[in-house]
A and B are shown apart, each in its own frame.
Chain A
Amino acid sequence: MPELANLSNAQHSAETVNGRAVFEARGITKTYGMGEVEVHALRGVDLELYEGELVVLLGPSGSGKSTLLNILGGLDAPTTGDVHYLDHDLTQYDDDALTRYRREHVGFVFQFYNLIPSLTARENVALVTDIAEHPMRPEEALELVGLGERLDHFPAQLSGGEQQRVAIARAIAKRPDVLLCDEPTGALDAKTGILVLEAIERVNQELGTTTAVITHNAVIAQMADRVISLSDGRIAHTDINAVKAAARDLAW
Chain B
Amino acid sequence: MKAMKALNRKLLRDLYHLRGQALAVGLVIACGIATFVMSFSTMESLRHTQASYYATYRFAHVFAQLKRAPEGLAPRLAAIPGVGQLQTRVVADVTVDVAGFAEPVTGRLISLPEPNTANLNDLYLRHGRLVEPGRDDEAVVSEAFAVAHDLRPGDTVRVVINGRQQRLRLVGVVLSPEYVMQIRAGDFLPDTKRFGVFWMDREALASAFNMEGAFNDVSLTLTRSASEAEVIDRLDQWLRPYGGVGAFGRGDQMSNRYVTDEIRQLRAMGLIVPGIFLAVAVFLFNVVLSRQVSTQREQIAALKAFGYSKREIAWHYLKLVLVIAVFGVVCGASVGAWMGRDLTEMYTTFYRFPKFTFQLDPGVVLSAFLLTCAAAVVGGLGAVRRASRLPPAEAMRPEPPAVYHRTVVERLGLGGLLSPAMRMILRNLERRPGKAATSILGIALAASVLVLGSFVVDAMNYLIAFQFEKSQRYDMTVAFVEPASAQAEYELRRLPGVMQCEPFRTLPTRIRSGNRSRRVAIMGLPRDGELQRLLDAQERRTPIPPQGLLLSEKLAELLDVGLGDTVTVEVLEGRQPVHEAVVTGLAADFAGTNAYMDLDALHRLMQEGDTLSGAFLTVDANRSKDLYATLKNTPRVASVSLKRATLQSFRETIAENLLRMTTFNVAFASVIAFGVVYNSARISLSERSRELATLRVIGFTRAEISAILLGELAVLTLAAIPGGLLIGYGFAAFTTLGLDTEMYRIPLVVDRATFGFAAVVVLAAALFSALMVRRRLDHLDLIAVLKTKE
Question: Which residues of A are in contact with B by a Cβ distance under 8 Å?
Answer: 32, 34-36, 66-67, 70, 73, 75-76, 95-96, 99-104, 106, 108, 110, 112, 114-119, 123-124, 126-131, 156, 170, 182
Contact = CB atoms under 8 A, between A and B. Distances in A.
A118 B301 contact: no
B305 A116 contact: no
Closest 4 CB pairs of A and B: A103-B307, A118-B13, A76-B393, A35-B400
B432 interface: no
B396 A66 contact: yes
A99 B13 contact: no
A49 to B, nearest CB: 18
B295 to A, nearest CB: 10
Given A123-B6, A127-B7, 13 more contacts: A32-B394, A66-B396, A70-B392, A99-B310, A100-B309, A103-B307, A103-B308, A108-B306, A116-B10, A119-B9, A126-B5, A127-B6, A156-B784
Contacts of B301: 75, 114
Contact of B396 (A35, A75, A130): A75
Contacts of A103: 306-309
B3 interface: yes
Given A99-B304, A127-B303, A131-B308, A114 B298 contact: yes
A123 B306 contact: no
Interface of B: 2-7, 9-10, 13-14, 17, 298-299, 301-310, 312, 391-394, 396-397, 400-401, 403, 784, 788-789
Given A102-B306, A130-B7, A131-B308, A75 B392 contact: yes
B307 A104 contact: yes
Contacts of A100: 307, 309
B306 A131 contact: yes
Contacts of B298: 112, 114
Contacts of A170: 306
A76 B391 contact: yes
A182 B392 CA distance: 14
A131 B4 CA distance: 8
Nearest to A70: B393
A66 B2 CA distance: 34
B302 A130 contact: no
Given A34-B400, A75-B396, A99-B310, A114 B302 contact: yes
A35 B394 CA distance: 12
B305 A130 contact: no
A238 B742 CA distance: 90
A235 B396 CA distance: 23
B700 to A, nearest CB: 25
Given A75-B396, A124-B6, A130-B5, A116 B306 contact: no
A103 B392 CA distance: 14
Given A116-B299, A130-B5, A110 B396 contact: yes
A98 B211 CA distance: 95
A153 to B, nearest CB: 14
A96 B4 CA distance: 18
B10 to A, nearest CB: 5
Given A118-B14, A126-B6, A127-B7, A75 B304 contact: yes
B5 A128 contact: no
B688 to A, nearest CB: 19
Contacts of B5: 126, 130
Nearest to A96: B309
Contact of A119 (B4, B13, B391, B401): B13
A115 B299 CA distance: 7
A119 B3 contact: no
Nearest to B13: A118
A117 B401 CA distance: 24
B400 A130 contact: no
A116 B5 CA distance: 14
Nearest to B399: A35
B310 to A, nearest CB: 7
Q: Which of A73, A115, A118 has the most CB of B within 10 A?
A: A118
A67 B302 CA distance: 15
A151 to B, nearest CB: 13
B10 A118 contact: yes
A110 B5 CA distance: 23
A73 B305 contact: yes
A1 to B, nearest CB: 34
A156 B783 CA distance: 12
A99 B309 contact: yes
A116 B313 CA distance: 14
A117 B5 CA distance: 16
A112 B301 CA distance: 12
B307 A130 contact: no
B297 to A, nearest CB: 10
Contacts of B308: 99, 103, 131
Contacts of B303: 116, 127
22 contacts: A36-B403, A66-B397, A96-B310, A100-B307, A102-B305, A106-B307, A108-B302, A108-B306, A110-B305, A114-B305, A115-B302, A116-B302, A117-B299, A119-B9, A119-B10, A123-B10, A128-B307, A130-B6, A130-B7, A131-B3, A131-B307, A170-B306
Nearest to B301: A114
A128 B306 contact: yes
Nearest to B14: A118
A32 B396 CA distance: 14
B674 to A, nearest CB: 26
Contacts of B2: 130
A244 to B, nearest CB: 27
Nearest to B3: A130
A30 B401 CA distance: 21
Contacts of A102: 304-307
A81 to B, nearest CB: 16
Contacts of B312: 131
Contacts of A35: 400-401, 403
Nearest to B788: A112
Contacts of A73: 305
A118 B17 CA distance: 9
Contacts of B401: 35
A2 B29 CA distance: 68
Contacts of A115: 302
A108 B305 contact: yes
B10 A99 contact: no
Nearest to B9: A123
Nearest to A182: B396
Instruction: Kindly name the residue among B309, B394, B784, B788 whose own CB sees the greatest number of chain A CB atoms within 10 A.
Output: B309
Contacts of B10: 116, 118-119, 123, 127
Most chain A C-beta atoms within 10 Å of own C-beta, residue among B304, B307, B310, B784: B307
A243 B260 CA distance: 93
B392 to A, nearest CB: 5
A118 B299 CA distance: 10
Contacts of A124: 6
A100 B307 CA distance: 6
A67 B393 CA distance: 8
B386 to A, nearest CB: 15
B391 to A, nearest CB: 7
A180 B393 CA distance: 13
Contacts of A127: 6-7, 10, 303, 306
A114 B13 CA distance: 17
Contacts of A119: 6, 9-10, 13
Nearest to A37: B400
B307 A99 contact: yes
A96 B303 CA distance: 14
Nearest to B17: A118
B598 to A, nearest CB: 79
Contacts of B309: 96, 99-100, 103
Nearest to A107: B306
A30 to B, nearest CB: 9
A66 B3 CA distance: 31
Contacts of A70: 392-393, 396
Most A CB within 10 A of own CB, among B17, B304, B789: B304
Nearest to B389: A95
